């Protein structure tokens, strides 16, 4: 068994995996994928000058002397709608009604919103103020210049990116495919979630919880039935997961009984594995191995420990496979509302974090602290990171918290 810090263990895991291969996908369905190649605009956006509001297109000089006391009255020479026919050319001394998004009439140099003018019954419009040239006009390329880099490689595609791709007429993009993560629950004590409990048995909470976690990280969970505490059965299930295309295999096991220790010893020998004792609490044990390019990760059977280690190790692994740099974007500084005491290991303390003023406060009041309390994670929304040592962190101290 090797003793490692979280940082050292994570570095070993990340060094052993690479970004997955590319697939081509319809842009409309690309949300949630990571872009593999830079995307450049094939044309400017917008491609033509257009009205930015519903109103009236004018020649700015016509309104130079306009005021509330001496309005300039111009006849309406036409109407242009968004997507309508080719627009007329405006004649000085007249105005053209335009809709938001309509092509700007030739010769027009400004647009006034309809709420800023007075329409007269005889198809005329009274303008009560001067206008600045270019007012309420969208220029060619105002949003996106022609050939501009619009989405860099490595960007997670959100609804906004999907919309821009479609607006630019880009039908397909190259993205990194979603990782496939196999979930292998093991243990003679486990029952499927829908089964009735019998003495000495517990329902499998790890698999559904980890499946939800994996999906939330942007990967595809592959679920398998419970594997009993037999080496040959576990080996066969691992091979099945690999043949099903798994990129990461998560094995949840009790890591306690003699049979489990024997199974782990066999796994380490068969799959170039190592067992790591981490300098943290809870979740002190982690096992890792490899089959070719596929990482095997052994998580504790306790759902609390498994989910905490998933936050610390599985999430960064999935992001690496997806082609995303792992950033601790959920790590925030919080002010303690209750004191905390350091221990020889780094502690991840369940807490509820909320914003107050310009910062965050964290409370552990009413949240369970038991080593097997899955409910405590339901009560919490963050893990306080209490550094190892012999310090006391009084109320008002500031520590880091990992939001989840």
DSSP string for 375-388: HHHHH-SEEEEE-S
Examine the domain organization and report whether 33 and 56 are in the same domain: no
Examine the domain organization and report whether 186 and 293 are in the same domain: yes
Examine the domain organization and report whether 200 and 286 are in the same domain: yes
pLDDT at 286 over 50: yes
Q: Which two tokens stand for residue 148?
A: 């501009």
> β-strands 172-176, 359-363: how paired?
unpaired
pLDDT at 169 over 70: yes
- The runs of H, that is alpha helices, within 19-158 are none
Residue range 178-230, pLDDT digits in tens:
999 999 998 888 888 888 888 888 888 889 999 999 999 999 999 999 888 77
Q: Which two tokens stand for residue 12?
A: 């070993």
Residue 201 and residue 26: Cα distance in Å, rounded? 47
Examine the domain organization and report whether 204 and 268 are in the same domain: yes
Q: Averaged over 31-46, what is the pLDDT?
A: 95
Examine the domain organization and report whether 364 and 380 are in the same domain: yes
Examine the domain organization and report whether 317 and 336 are in the same domain: no
Give the CATH number, domain containing residue 12: 3.40.980.10
pLDDT above 90 covers a percentage of the chain that reads 69
Examine the domain organization and report whether 254 and 194 are in the same domain: yes
Domain boundary among 109, 138, 167: 138
Examine the domain organization and report whether 83 and 123 are in the same domain: yes
Least confident of 5-19, 51-65, 90-104, 190-204: 190-204
Domain boundary among 267, 294, 322: 322
- Structure confidence at residue 371 (pLDDT): 75
Examine the domain organization and report whether 318 and 223 are in the same domain: yes
Residue 368 and residue 349: Cα distance in Å, rounded? 10
Q: Averaged over 383-392, what is the pLDDT?
A: 92
Give the CATH number, domain containing residue 125: 2.170.190.11
Examine the domain organization and report whether 216 and 168 are in the same domain: no
Beta bridge partners of 294: 291
270: nearest Cα among 246, 234, 299: 234
Supply the pTM of this predicted model: 0.82
Residue range 287-343, pLDDT digits in tens:
888 888 999 998 888 888 899 999 999 999 999 999 987 765 578 999 999 999 999
Examine the domain organization and report whether 32 and 13 are in the same domain: no
Phi and psi at 290, nearest 5°, equal -145, 145
The parent domain of residue 383 ranges over: 331-403
Domain boundary among 322, 346, 374: 322
């Amino acid at each position: 068994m090797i003793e490692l810090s979280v940082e050292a263990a994570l570095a070993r895991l990340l060094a052993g995996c690479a970004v997955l291969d590319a697939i081509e996908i319809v842009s409309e369905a690309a949300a949630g994928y990571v872009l593999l190649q830079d995307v450049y605009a094939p044309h400017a956006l917008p491609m033509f000058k257009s009205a930015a509001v519903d109103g009236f297109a004018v020649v700015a000089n016509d309104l130079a002397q306009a005021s509330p006391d001496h309005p300039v009255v111009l006849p309406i020479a036409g109407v242009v709608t968004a997507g309508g026919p080719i627009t007329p050319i405006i004649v000085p001394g007249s105005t053209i009604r335009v809709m938001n998004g309509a092509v700007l009439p030739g010769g027009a140099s400004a647009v006034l919103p309809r709420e800023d003018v007075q329409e007269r019954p005889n198809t005329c419009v009274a303008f009560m103020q001067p206008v600045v040239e270019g007012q309420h006009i969208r220029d060619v390329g105002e949003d996106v210049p022609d050939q501009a880099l619009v989405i860099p490689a490595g960007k997670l595609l959100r609804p906004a990116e999907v919309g821009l791709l479609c607006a630019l007429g880009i039908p397909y993009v190259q993205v990194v495919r979603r990782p496939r993560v196999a979930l292998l629950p093991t243990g003679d004590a486990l029952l499927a979630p829908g089964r009735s409990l019998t003495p000495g048995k517990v329902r499998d909470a790890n698999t559904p919880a980890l499946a939800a976690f994996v999906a939330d990280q942007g990967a595809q969970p592959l679920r398998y039935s419970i594997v009993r505490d037999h080496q040959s059965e576990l080996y066969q299930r691992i091979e099945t997961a690999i043949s099903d295309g798994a990129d990461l295999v998560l094995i949840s096991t009790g890591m306690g009984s003699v049979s489990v220790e024997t199974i782990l010893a066999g796994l380490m020998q068969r799959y170039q594995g190592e067992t790591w004792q981490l300098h943290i609490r809870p979740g002190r044990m982690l096992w890792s191995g490899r089959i070719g390019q596929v990482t095997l990760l052994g998580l504790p059977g306790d759902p609390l420990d498994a989910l905490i280690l998933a936050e610390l190790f599985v999430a960064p692994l999935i992001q690496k496979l997806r082609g995303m740099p792992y950033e601790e974007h959920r790590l925030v500084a919080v002010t303690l509302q209750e004191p905390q005491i350091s221990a020889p290991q780094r502690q991840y303390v369940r807490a509820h974090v909320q914003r107050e003023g310009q910062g965050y406060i964290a409370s552990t009041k009413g949240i369970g602290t038991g080593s097997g309390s899955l409910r405590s994670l339901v009560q919490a929304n963050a893990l306080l990171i209490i550094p190892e040592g012999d310090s006391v962190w009084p109320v008002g101290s500031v520590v880091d918290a990992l939001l989840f």
